[in-house]
Amino acid sequence: MENTLLFNTRDELTRIQLDRVMYFESDANYTNVIFANGAHATLLTSLVKLEDLIGQVLLERCSVFVRIGKKYIVNSDYIFQINVLKQRLILSDLKSTHIARLEVSKEALKKLKALFLAPTAKAPSRAMPSTPRPMAKSLGQVPTVTKENE
């Protein structure tokens, strides 16, 4: 179960395969998970806590997930189009009919576009929540791996 997060509550267990996640969306103390096939789940955890868990499970490979502002963590493998003018990020796996259209600020999209064009550029600091950043560069390596949220 590599690349899998388990979220255990009193009443349910939710298994999240990270390679199938299109994006995570913050909803106060909850996080909505949207999968490539259009399925979705709601987790009782904040986006900040989820960001840390992804970093722990994926270690160096977590750079595939990019934090965009306070609201989104996006799987960069699913980024199909970055439209700065329309302030829209379009995600698709190019296999299914499910397409996600996210409203994102122009500044965040410009920085995301620059990140794709210059992947070796230094990641912005964590203090700038509206800035997209590869999670591996913002989190670094974490020595312990936690796959369950209790």
Per the CB < 8 A criterion, the answer to whether 73 and 50 are in contact is: yes
Q: What is the average per-residue pLDDT within 125-130?
A: 39
pLDDT band, residue 138 (cuts 50/70/90):
very low
Q: Is residue 150 part of a domain?
A: no
Can you name the residues that pair with 24 across neighbouring β-strands? Answer: 33, 73
- pTM value is 0.75
Domain that holds residue 125: 4-134
Write the CATH number for 74: 2.40.50.1020
Q: Is residue 149 part of a domain?
A: no
Residue 66's Cβ-count burial label (10 Å; 0-12, 13-18, 19+) is buried
Q: What is the average per-residue pLDDT within 72-82?
A: 94
What does the pLDDT look like over 19-47, one tens digit per residue?
Answer: 999 999 999 889 999 999 999 999 999 99
Those residues with Cβ within 8 angstroms of residue 92's Cβ, 6 or more apart along the chain or in another chain: 78, 80, 98, 99, 100
What is d(CA 26, CA 43) in angstroms, rounded to the nearest whole number?
10
Q: Is residue 148 part of a domain?
A: no
Task: Tell me which H or E stretch contains 83.
Answer: strand 79-83
